[in-house]
A = this chain, B = another copy of it.
Amino acid sequence: MIDTSTRSGMNDATSRWTSQELATWRALMETTGDLRRILGAQLAEECGVSAADYQVLLALSEAEGHRLRSSELAASMDWERSRLSHQLARMDKRGLVAREACATDKRGAEVVLTAEGLTQFRACTMPHLRAVRKHFADALTPAQFAALADILGSLRRHLRPEDDTP
């Protein structure tokens, strides 16, 4: 049923798939999971926003006029539409964003960062970057950083071959 000897032609290369590499896979999931939790908790405690909130605030703050079509916002974060809708509903209720009808396309919605949302985001930025530096960047040497960037590039090209970004 499952013939591990004829995977994809290259057999010298496939013999690399060892328990050590499985351990590396598990370590990757575990360590990045830890980082997610730690940084998420830091944002929640110090800034009162979730990681998802921060991601939305970041994307809007980088947009022209602090405003984006809902679909563009979703695409820029690679989120599903419904997830974004729910998220925006919660952020709207808290006054961090506002939703307006789109002028050119009456189906569409535009999402705008409110003044309060911008203030919140600005208050988050430095504490968050400090936490990323403390828990992530401070652990690695410049050489490790370079190696990691290279590895992530390989993974990304493997996962999304169509993406043109280098």
Contacts and interface: CB of A to CB of B under 8 A. Distances in A.
Interface of A: 1-2, 7-8, 13-14, 16-17, 20-25, 27-32, 34-36, 38, 78, 122, 125-126, 129-130, 132-133, 135-142, 144-145, 147-160
A159 B25 contact: no
A35 B159 contact: yes
A159 B135 contact: yes
Copies in the complex: 2
Contacts of A147: 144, 147-148, 150-151
Contacts of A141: 154
A135 B154 CA distance: 11
B16 A145 contact: yes
A140 to B, nearest CB: 6
Contact of A31 (B36, B145, B155): B155
